Amino acid sequence: MTESRHALIIANDRYVDQGLKKLRAPAQDAAALAGVLEDPQIGEFKVQVVHNARADEMRRSIQRFFKDRRRDDTLLLHFSCHGLKSESGELYFAAGDTEPQLLDATAISSQFVRGCMSRTMAGRTVLFLDCCYGGAFSRGASARASGDVNVLESFQTEKEPGGQGWAVITASDSMEYAFEGPELAENSAPRPSVFTHAVVEGLKSGEADRDGDGEVRLMELYDFVYERVREENPNQTPKRTVEMRGDPWLAHSRRGRLKIVAVPSPPALQEAMNSSEVIKRQNTVLLWLKKRLQNPELPIAEGARQHLEEVAHNDIPEVADLASDALSEIHLAPSPDHLDFGLLPNGAPARKKSVTMQGPPLARHCVAQPTQSWLQVDPTPSGLEVHVDTAAEGHLSGDIVLKGVADEALIHVEAVVDPRIEPAPLAGPTDQEPEPRPPGPRTDTTIIQPPTPPPSIPEPPSTPPPGSVPGRKEPRTSRLARALAPAGTALVLAGTAAITAIVAIQAAVSAVYERSKRGVHGNIEDNIHHHGVLASLTVCLITGALALVVGALARHDLRRRRERYTTQAAGITQALTSIAKGLAIPALVLAVLADIAYVVGSRYW
């Protein structure tokens, strides 16, 4: 069973009741958060946005969102709206048609949301509340808090949460306002909420990935959001309550060291490295693992790197030293690793210098992170291009951190920007004026990719015969067909079983009809054999049983060797085996019933 990730974003900024002040941020926040959550490179969520809905529509959407989930699912619910409290202090979320005097009928109670969260079968649930909390305000009054709402207490329970539990993170505590931008000016242009903007920034940029493991986890995101919100507005304090086992990941990070899903070494290579013969292990390192390490297909190269690291740490020195020498070839090696832009006039067009990444493809694949805002990086086919923004003044000194799968490296950059110098074109092949840069926001993280390899890449065969040379890699389409072959075979067998079951039933009906026409002179066994009923039933039983066995083997292989399957191949395999199972089981049931009917009924006919 694979993990499924779903997000529901509820954003209400317009209200029928004039006492509920119009909010500026929810629509913009919903679009920004949805974009980062549904990005397959970041959040991988399936996102639904509900905007300015009525209370009954919101209730349906929320209950439907939590219903029929599975143990491996991760759910994220985000509210951006007014939060209201009743006279008894209970928390409600305002809908488009909310009437502050009729909260039970026209708003969404926190108890309703908590009940949906506690009943869901999903393993992990995260709730974000970007709300301003207050009472039933008078017409035209500002939506500020009055009294204690006890926001987080509304979601605490004595009952053990289902799955791995839930977490609630709120933009502010009960006595604070969730600010929309730095000001609360009535007629200002739409600006993002301080809280949701920090959430989006932490996920999109990857800055919330504090430990650099390539994943933004819930607690990391909360720490990042807390710091950003407090920096932006000291009067607003995010809070959290967590009833959850573990710390789930919410997004992939582009800031951490690169992670590549490795293709393990073929069984023949693993067997050779487990041999008791030292020479055989040495030859395997020199001839095969080293060759795979330089493969243009990064998953294959990463699998070889991991295998070589294991050998370097665990084998005897004669073999471990060879593995270490092979690994030294894929360390990050930028050339040059020191860039001096010299004296630059203030305000001149950004200057650029090129850096070449040395080594095989795995050594050229890395993440580049400038440590200063005046440094910008663009990828090139041979490495990267470094730009210096001359808007800054004085002596500039900074680094570009390169993070690969195996290690890190630094490129040191220096420049002196003098406002007294008139801007003038700089000469030299590496100090030329760059092409105009495309408009739009830039991130501080750049992925340096080696050129995409051609469709067919030389690769050693799975079984390295003594004295042989590396062969050619099997085409991708052939590998896909081989992965789907068991599931396809199961479907063909199941289809054959279903067809023969139908043929057998039709033949049996014909035999019975013919027997009834002959009266006392008829013999049902002769008619059964004449129409081939038993042969069809036998074929049905054999092919149906084989379909179930082959389908089970295909599903077992999918679970055991998931790395061999792409997402598309895994989905097709699951679909084909499910269809095969749905055809084979009814066919077998019909065949067994027909055999029983023949054995019991033949003595009376």
**Domain ranges within the chain, ordered by starting residue:** 5-252, 334-433+443-448, 476-604
Instruction: Flag the least confident range among 83-87, 268-272, 470-474.
Output: 470-474
The confidence score (pLDDT) of residue 545 equals 87
Average pLDDT on 102-129 reads 92
Share of the chain residues as helix, strand and coil, in percent rounded to the nearest 5: 40, 20, 40
- Confidence grade of residue 62 (pLDDT, cut at 50, 70, 90): very high
Bridge partners (DSSP) of residue 239 are 170
539 has pLDDT over 50: yes
Give the model's pLDDT for residue 428: 46
Q: Print burial letters for 159-190: b (CB count within 10 Å at least 16), e (below 16).
A: eebbbbbbbbbbbbbbebbbbbbeeeeeeeee
Written as six digits, the tokens of 181 are 């931008």
Instruction: Please give the Cα distance from 419 to 42 (Å, whole number).
Output: 41
Contact status, residue 494 vs residue 579, Cβ threshold 8 Å? yes
Q: What is residue 73's predicted lDDT score, i.e. its pLDDT?
A: 92
CATH code for 5-252?
3.40.50.1460
Q: What is the pLDDT of residue 519?
A: 63
Q: What angle do CA 5, 204, 34 make, to 5 degrees?
A: 50
Average pLDDT over residues 95-105: 93
Band (407; pLDDT cuts 50, 70, 90) = confident
% residues pLDDT > 90 (the chain)? 23
The pLDDT of residue 179 is 58
Contact 367/252 with Cβ under 8 angstroms?
no
Q: Say what the pLDDT of residue 563 is.
A: 55
**Whether residue 159 has pLDDT greater than 60:** no
Cβ–Cβ < 8 Å for 84, 137: no
pLDDT digits (tens, 9 = 90+) for 451-463: 765 554 444 444 4
* Mean pLDDT computed over 140-168: 55
Q: Which pLDDT band, with edges at 50, 70 and 90, does 470 fall under?
A: very low
pLDDT in tens, 72-83: 899 999 999 988
Distance CA 531, CA 11 (A): 69
**pLDDT at 418 (0 to 100):** 83
Write phi, then psi, for 397 (nearest 5 degrees).
Answer: -140, 125
- What CATH superfamily is the domain 334-433+443-448? Immunoglobulins (2.60.40.10)
Query: Nearest Cα to 340, choosing from 429, 410, 417, 415?
Result: 415
**Distance separating alpha carbons of residues 430 and 74, to the nearest angstrom:** 49
* Coil, strand or helix at 313: helix
How many angstroms separate the CA atoms of 48 and 5, rounded?
A: 12
- What pLDDT is stored for residue 487 in this prediction? 80
Mean of all residue pLDDT scores within the chain: 79
Q: Give the residue-averaged pLDDT of 537-547.
A: 85
The whole-number pLDDT of residue 186 equals 41
273-to-265, 283, 316, 484 alpha-carbon distances in Å: 10, 9, 12, 30
pTM of the full predicted structure? Answer: 0.47
Backbone torsions φ then ψ of 264, nearest 5 degrees: -60, 160
